[in-house]
Structure 1
Amino acid sequence: MYENLQFTYGSGTYAIYLRKSRKDLDAEARGEGETLARHLAILKDLSKRMRLNIIRVYAEVVSGESIEARPQMQKLLRDVETGIYDGVLVVEVERLARGDTSDQGRVAKTFKFSNTLIITPAKTYDPNNEFDEEYFEFGLFMSRREYKTIRRRLTAGMDASCREGKYTGNVPPYGYERCKLKKEKGWSLTVVPEQAAIVRMIFEWYGRGLRGEKAGYSKIAQELNRLGIPAPSGGSWTQYSVQNILRNPVYAGYIKTGYRKEVKQLVDGKLIRSRPLNHDCRLYPGKHEAVISQEIWETVSKRFRRRTADSSTRSRPARNPLSGLVYCSCCHHVMQRRPYQSGAPASLICTTKGCPTVSSFLHLVEQRILDALEVWLASCELPDPEKLPNNTERISLLKSGITACRSELEETLAQIERQYDLLERGVYTEEMFFERNARMRKKKDELTARLEALQAELKDETGRDAAIKNLLPALRTIREAYSSIDSPAAQNALLKEVIDHVEYTKTENGRWGCPDSFTLEIFPRVNPRA
């Protein structure tokens, strides 16, 4: 809609970036018009007054916290890096970056090193002008604080609504529909009778059995599909859709909060966000009508607890030395060990429904992997760890460099703090402060970059040293060590030291043919030398 728009009013090459904020989404909900169209009209008028040529419009249709969540912002930064624009027009600088400081730093550096102007109706920012740079960074800092305040208030408001028994989700659970509460803010749920009857049936079958037999998730899903009842998604029922209903306390009249809290982890320098299930979430009595009785909810909950305890194979000895190692080459799911009560040897099977992969005896797959490892290890020229170059001196030098760099960085940060004190006491004029502060901040950035580089190098050196000392002995004695171990769990741990994963292929039934007519592709953790 916006991407191919161009406006020619004068000279130069400029772009427009449009993004909705949370405030804009609320305004649209109140019927105050489409935000992006309003902002485009403002910036179009600005470009006309300034006689600028607009060659592209980047319109962000999602409201994301980070740059990773905003595809149009990523495209804009890539294009700005190439230096094709003289400037970018936005309604506010806060529209460019409101995430964490790393996002703000990335935006500031991209515009600075490409000599690209940031043009707003209020002010034009030149990132290479130290005063404009200070104003720009200060604006981003304040917008970040405002964003955190808004998030804190929203979270507190949602928690308060849950405590009052209101439903805070956008999509109602199967068996309910959302309804606006009368004479008060917030939403609740009303029962959809036809769907509620199916929900009660699912709880009854799981808690008390189906046709006199115990019923699990898969059996209930099969029965619902046999009866021709559409799933919540409109398709077929699966064990997961049944499980989601059985584990949802909303059907017993509760409102849950904290069920999927966001967890942030730094992995290889990248921020990874996940929302794992939290079965210890907080429950509050809801304003809505319960679909099932408290008795059946307790019955189902007890079965869940028993199931967790009974299925705790973690407390039983492991039986599969290839656990988590062998993957089906067709569907890429991990293959499972299947024992037989008849006394026949256990098989390694793919449990994906409809997958054409044929099973094989576990001991044959295990033996094939060991034979392949022996051939592979024999072809490796493995050095003696004791004869490898000692990098202790290098590690010591790196540690000394890190200590010195950290001390210098701390002193620089203290000097920056003193500059603010001198400004407040009137010793520094604003011009003197900005000049000296910019110089110290540049030094701080250089020291931070040097410290990060030294720490990364130290990590590489120590990691390489540990890998050589720990892995090479395991590689030399893998076959002897494996055969001397009786525990499948210990054998599994030993294999995982040298094997990343194995891909298994077999599509022809071997009942009347050769039982070991399968192929394996082994992916080792360490590549052998030629």
Structure 2
Amino acid sequence: MYEDLSYTYGSGTYAIYLRKSRKDLDAEAMGEGETLSRHLDILKALAKRMELNVVKVYAEVVSGESIDARPQMQELLRDVETGIYDGVLVVEVERLARGDTSDQGRVAKTFKFSNTLIITPSKTYDPNNEFDEEYFEFGLFMSRREYKTIRRRLVAGSDASRREGKYTGNVPPYGYARKKLKKEKGWTLEIIPDQAQVVRMIFDWYRNGMQGIPVGYTAISDELNRLSISSPSGTRWTPNGIQGILRNPVYAGYIKSGYRKEVKKIVDGKLTRSRPLNNDYTLYPGRHESIISQETWDAVHNRMLKRVLPSSSSRVKPQQNPLAGLVCCSQCGRIMQRRPYQSGRTATLICPTKGCSTVASDLSMVEQRLLDALDQWLVSGTLPDPDHLPDNSDRLDLLRQAVSSCSEDLSEADRQLQKQYDLLEKGIYDEVTFFERSAIMKKRKSDLTSRLKDLQTELQTETERNEAVKNLLPTLQTIHDTYPKLTSAELKNRLLKEVIDHVEYSKSENGRWGHPDNFSLKIYPRVTPA
């Protein structure tokens, strides 16, 4: 690295400081060469011409607005404070400090009180010379002003690009590749078919469940890992990675702005920066093709908003609401909650959103209405909205691909094992080598055979499910026979969740003293495999 270099051209003790600016990064992109190397050559020539003894080079390889984000600058200032240098060589004074006023003052004071010169190709600054000091401070001030202007222009340009539907990120989201727009500046996104199929499956699993069973981020990541599908990083899928995909509106054809705004705080006297998630971000229609439909995005987004964890008190007190997690408000989408009364009045089902227009009803009345509806399904032998049942065709495609890939791997293992026998017969392998390598290959073949069998079994199950008739009726019969005998609200809740995904509750008029049952329920059934 540069720090280990020294150049003995004369007397004294001097150091060189190198740092890239944003203009340098743009110039490098245009092919002008590596900035630090060019600047080092300039300052070496200057040191040779002035006959200066350079004992160390400080090269900043990271970009940072403040001194706290530039480790080499911090080290240089510590060394300058000790007075070990007669001067520091830099291509321009702006390279030393482009941060806020406190950073500029810190640099100016450090060089002034240590009597250290600042040497540039155009001028040598003596911080203890009144005119040089003013000139130096003015240069830092103008540098800071230029920096703010450039930053403001870049931010405005990025915002304008996002409003035009262009993708401004450097790394495309999983399922897409960056694509340069023709005949204009900027980038858009292009679908990668194989990855897009995985994205659709992730959204489908979260929306409709696996085999009729609701799943979360962990179950989805485990399933993708089991199917040997590579994650965006090329490693294993994680629940956080799944959550990131489900939260990203780019898959529905949008470009987001202000999703992670920088927040600055003073902690223990130091400026800290963070980029927390911002729920109040802006969406613009993107130029890219969406991977999922708007309907799917809305359904998944609503489920994520409703997703609640059980309170810690539920571990101590027994569950008292048989409809917990099932009924949601038709107006705001929040999960309805049970409200008990100390007066002895019957508990009600209320919407927890402050100011929501939905009117509460007696919990027992809503429960009975729900059971009556399930009995009607049982009597009629049919289910509502049969055309809206979840489609598992994408999952079947993924399983077929996994079976095909596993079969090819198994065939390749057979070929390699046969090749080892041939090498033994030709005398290329001795017996020890043959037994060692054939044992490894036989173990791999056994693992592949077992995995192929599991995948084929699962594919057959999914295929039968895709073609089978809905089998909710037996479960409905169980509820009809068993539910009235249960005393545990938790067991009742589990039984209902076997056939119901969620229920939308609507009530706009208070009918406590007239028609307390003037509410409506829209029930969404859960389909289980045959």
Shorter-normalised TM range: 0.5 to 0.7
Post-superposition offset of 1:213? 0.6
CA distance in 1, matches of 2:188, 2:319: 55
Structure 1 letter corresponding to 2:94 = E
User: Paired residue for 1:298?
Assistant: 298
Looking at structure 2, the residues matched to 306 and 244 of structure 1 have their Cα atoms a distance apart, in angstroms, of 17
Deviations 1:190-215 (A, max 9, x none): 11111111100000000111111111
Q: Which amino acid aligns with 1:57?
A: V
CA distance in 2, matches of 1:199, 1:186: 25
* CA distance, structure 2, for counterparts of residue 292 and residue 166 of structure 1: 19
Cα offset, 1:41, TM superposition? 0.8
Deviation at 1:17, TM superposition (A): 0.4
Can you list the C-alpha shifts for 1:353-377, whole angstroms capped at 9, x where unaligned?
A: xxxxxxxxxxxxxxxxxxxxxxxxx
Give 2:185's aligned amino acid.
K
Which residue in the other structure is 1:443 paired with?
Answer: none
TM-score, structure 2 normalization: 0.59
Q: Tell me the equivalent position of 1:83.
A: 83
SS in 2 for 1:229: coil
Aligned length: 320
Instruction: Report the equivalent of 2:216.
Output: 216
1:338 and 1:16 map into 2 onto residues whose CA distance is: 64
Once the two structures are aligned, what percentage of the paired residues are identical? Answer: 75
Query: Equivalents in 2 of 1:256, 1:278: separation in Å?
Result: 11
After superposition, where does 1:275-290 map in structure 2 within 5 Å? 275-290=275-290
CA distance in 2, matches of 1:27, 1:339: 65
Residues 119 and 312 of structure 1: is their aligned pair in 2 closer, same or farther, counting only changes over 3 Å? farther
| Structure 1 letter corresponding to 2:187 | W
Matching of residue 32 in structure 1 with residue 32 in structure 2: yes
* Residue 57 (structure 1) aligns with: 57
Aligned to 1:144: 144
Deviation at 1:294, TM superposition (A): 1.0
Question: What is the rounded CA distance, in whole Å, between the counterparts of 1:200 and 1:340 in structure 2?
Answer: 40
1:23 counterpart residue number = 23
Cα gap change, 1:338 to 1:87, in 2 (>3 Å): farther
Please give the secondary structure, in 2, of the residue aligned with 1:16.
strand
| Structure 1 runs, 4 residues or longer, greater than 3 Å off | 310-313, 337-343
- The residue matched to 1:91 in structure 2 has which SS? coil
Cα deviation, 1:339-396, whole Å, max 9, x if unaligned, reads 58699xxxxxxxxxxxxxxxxxxxxxxxxxxxxxxxxxxxxxxxxxxxxxxxxxxxxx
Instruction: Name the amino acid aligned to 1:90.
Output: V
Q: Which digits, 9 at most, give the CA deviation of each residue in 1:18-57, with x for residues without a partner?
A: 0000000000001111111111111111111111011111
| Residue pairs, 1:300-319, within 5 angstroms | 300-307=300-307, 310-311=308-309, 319=313
Aligned to 2:111: 111
Provide the C-alpha distance between the structure 2 equivalents of 1:342 and 1:143, rounded to a whole number of angstroms.
Answer: 64
SS of the equivalent of 2:2 reads coil
* Structure 1 equivalent of residue 346 of structure 2: none
The corresponding residue for 1:246 is 246
Match in the other structure for 2:202: 202
> What is the deviation of 1:224?
1.0
Counterpart CA distance in 1 for 2:46 and 2:185 is: 40
1:230 aligns with 2:230: yes
- Higher alpha-carbon deviation: 217-226 or 244-253: 217-226
1:243 and 1:199 map into 2 onto residues whose CA distance is 12
Q: Distance in 1 between matches of 2:135 and 2:279?
A: 46
Amino acid at match of 1:41: D
Q: Using the alignment, how far apart are the partners of 1:339 and 1:203 within structure 2?
A: 35
Distance 2:190 2:237 in 1: 23
Give 1:81 deviation, angstroms. 1.0
Determine the structure 1 residue equivalent to 2:383: none
Task: Structure 2: state its 5+ residue gaps.
Answer: 321-530
CA distance in 2 between counterparts of 1:69 and 1:312 reads 42
> Displacement, 1:312?
8.7
1:45 matches 2:45: yes
Output the amino acid matched with 1:134.
E
Deviation at 1:286, TM superposition (A): 0.6
Q: Which residue of 2 aligns with 1:185?
A: 185
TM-score, scaled relative to structure 1: 0.59
Distance in 2 (alpha carbons) for counterparts of 1:340 and 1:197? 44
Amino acid of the structure 2 residue aligned with 1:86: D
* CA gap 1:52/1:185 in 2 versus in 1, 3 angstroms: same
Provide the secondary structure at the position in 2 that maps to 1:194.
helix
Partner amino acid for 1:123? K
Displacement of 1:247 after TM fit? 0.1
**Per the alignment, in what secondary structure is the counterpart of residue 288 of structure 2?**
coil
Q: Describe the superposition over 1:262-315 as per-residue Cα deviations: whole angstroms up to 9, x where unpaired.
A: 0111223211111110122110011111111111111101112212xx4495xx
Q: Is 1:264 the equivalent of 2:264?
A: yes
Q: Quote how far apart the aligned CAs of 1:338 are.
A: 5.2
Q: SS in structure 1 opposite 2:205?
A: helix
Q: What pairs with 1:62-461 in structure 2 (closer than 5 Å)?
A: 62-307=62-307, 310-311=308-309, 319=313, 339=316
Cα displacement string for residues 101-137 of structure 1 (whole angstroms, at most 9, x for unaligned residues): 1111111111111111000011111111121111111
Q: Deviations over 1:454-483 (max 9, x none)?
A: xxxxxxxxxxxxxxxxxxxxxxxxxxxxxx
Mark the CA change 1:56 to 1:24 in structure 2 (over 3 Å): closer, same or farther. Answer: same
Amino acid at match of 2:171: V
Q: Deviations over 1:164-204 (max 9, x none)?
A: 01000011101111111110001111111111111000000
Structure 1 unaligned segments of length 5 or more: list them.
320-336, 344-530
Which stretch shifts more, 22-31 or 261-270?
Answer: 261-270
- AA partner of residue 298 (structure 1): D
Distance 1:52 1:211 in 2: 77
